[in-house]
Structure 1
Amino acid sequence: MDEVDAPAGAESYCPAPAAPAGRVPGPPYADCVECGEPTEYGVATPGRVLCPVCEWQDAQRSACSG
């Protein structure tokens, strides 16, 4: 069994990490909440913003295995 088709409207077992809603262009750019480095998001972007490195590491931690 390589793939199983999910019924229409069913949620994914392992959803992809969501990007911050309402990305706001910079400058000025917001600081990463993990390491403090500048991010690609403007300071008015709502939610938790991460720099590209921390974003990648967070995706690795929350990715499905196997």
Structure 2
Amino acid sequence: MIYKIFYQPSQKISPRRENTLALYLEADSEVAARSSVEQNTSYNVEYIEELSPKALEYAQQNPNYQLTEFSK
């Protein structure tokens, strides 16, 4: 499944909507997606959304769409 993860780039700064970014990640579950981001980044995860096939198709039309992969 593909998840869209909304996050703040730093855990040290108070979250502000203007600073919210997103990444796309393939994972088996929402818990696995959160764990992967927390283990590999210093991001402050705000929200994780599982993308439906139509939502994924729409996201892939964006030229900036990129599936994030963390090295193991």
TM-score bracket for this pair, using the shorter chain length:
under 0.3
**Bigger relative contact order, structure 1 or 2, given CA contacts below 8 A and separation 6+?**
2
Question: Which one has a bigger Cα radius of gyration?
Answer: 1
- Tell me the TM-score normalized by structure 2: 0.26
Compute the TM-score of the two structures, normalised by the length of structure 1.
Answer: 0.28
Greater fraction of residues in helix: 2
Q: Answer 1 or 2: which has greater strand percent.
A: 2
